[in-house]
Structure 1
Amino acid sequence: MVTMKRIHNKEDIVQIGLDLVLSKGFNATGVETILKQANIPKGSFYNFFSSKEEFALAIIDRYVADRNELFFPIISDESVSPLERVKKSFEKLIAIFEDYDCSKGCLLGNLGLEMSDHSENVRQCLEQALEGWTTGLSGLLLQAQQEQAIPANLDVEMLAENLISSFQGALLRSKIKKSPEPLRNFIHFYFDIFLVGKEEQ
């Protein structure tokens, strides 16, 4: 008889919880469900987390760390132009979304919709994560601007934030439509139309 290995490591529980929340949503993922999936005794959850809110903060931190690790080879590849690296970072996220049959989406957007009005700590953590994403993109966009790949009069921080906001909206639409088409349109409009042809503007 095969027995499941018990998980006693906090990081393992965070990863299992992250996967569950991405699939089911935060409020629909009960502590009992996490404990069962992790195969740990009832009540052990609170040995690691003082509350479910603290658990939410932990899965956000894990998600951001995973995304930073995912993005690093893309954004650090100096053989590719800065604007192309921005494009490739979004295309990587879209590919992951397609691999999950247009489900799950982005934890930051999902929790933003579900939790921002109910937990100030979670809202602030999400805002910090999105600000970090914005900072990373704006750095690449500034390089693109210095190379005259995008217009000099663009506010790169505002552009970075708008890219993320537009991506999140397209992601939500793709989840509802069960099609990556809105995300592909996002790529097309920004990187094939809006941010090209500087000399014609």
Structure 2
Amino acid sequence: MANLKRTREDILEAVIDTVHRQGLTATGLSELFRLSGASSGSFYNYFESKQALGHALIDFEWEKLEKNVLEPAVTRHESPIDQVFWILDTLEAKQTREPFCGGCLLGNLIVDLVEQDDSFREHLQTVFARWEGAIAQRLHAGRDQLLPATDPDLLAAQIMTVIEGAMLMGKLHRDTQRLHASFDVARQLLTLALKPA
């Protein structure tokens, strides 16, 4: 029986793994209702459309990324450069958990949604700019550890590109060794930009 008292967060949490694995486009409304345990009326009380759910999932995933990856890096490491290494390690570990090597949900939604609706393109561009900006901010803060010719903004963009590529290839191959090797490319980019010890 549907739980009519499901909260907005309950619904997002209930559907996110399925959307992560198969995409929002391929997930029908009846499946979303079933997964969420909410009646259609309760569901539409929070999300006026499937498109609105997609936007909510983007924000929900970004909030989780901030809370579970970006913010804890600061408390675990004083060095901004060590924070970037920790972020890479944490993202890699996240990929080996559920859904196993499922790729980046936000990256998957680029493939799934941006050609259908420009509002998704704009929303995801904003989120990825924040994510890249969080890495760039740490690289600027750790500038004294970087080679003088290093451009922190360019390095952040390169690291982001490798991260997304690593997660995409991880999803394709479902191979943890390949995933690790791909994340090592991002680590090597950062290592090569460091001043000699």
Asked if these proteins are the same fold (TM beyond 0.5), I'd say yes
Going from structure 1 to structure 2, the CA distance change for 1:20 and 1:70 (only over 3 Å counts) comes to same
Q: Report SS of the residue matched to 2:142.
A: helix
Q: Report SS of the residue matched to 1:27.
A: coil
Q: 2: distance between equivalents of 1:11 and 1:44?
A: 13
Aligned length: 195
Q: 2: distance between equivalents of 1:101 and 1:48?
A: 25
Aligned mate of 2:160, from 161, 164, 170: 164
Contact 1:134 1:164 in 2 (8 A): yes
Q: For structure 1, which segment, 185-194 or 172-181, has the greater mean C-alpha deviation from structure 2 after superposition?
A: 185-194
| TM-score of the aligned structures, taking structure 1 as reference length | 0.86
Establish whether residue 181 from structure 1 lines up as the match of residue 180 from structure 2.
Answer: no
5 Å matches for 1:84-163? 84-100=82-98, 102-145=100-143, 147=144, 149-163=145-159
Query: What amino acid is the match of 2:142?
Result: A
Going from structure 1 to structure 2, the CA distance change for 1:190 and 1:90 (only over 3 Å counts) comes to closer
Q: 1: distance between equivalents of 2:190 and 2:67?
A: 28
Going from structure 1 to structure 2, the CA distance change for 1:78 and 1:88 (only over 3 Å counts) comes to closer
Shift in Å at residue 82 of structure 1? 1.7
Shift in Å at residue 117 of structure 1? 0.9
Contact 1:22 1:104 in 2 (8 A): yes
Shift in Å at residue 150 of structure 1? 1.8
Query: What amino acid is the match of 1:74?
Result: A
Q: Report SS of the residue matched to 1:100.
A: coil
Moved over 6 A (4+): none
Structure 2 gaps, min length 5:
none
Q: Report SS of the residue matched to 2:138.
A: helix
Structure 1 gaps, min length 5:
none
% same residue = 23
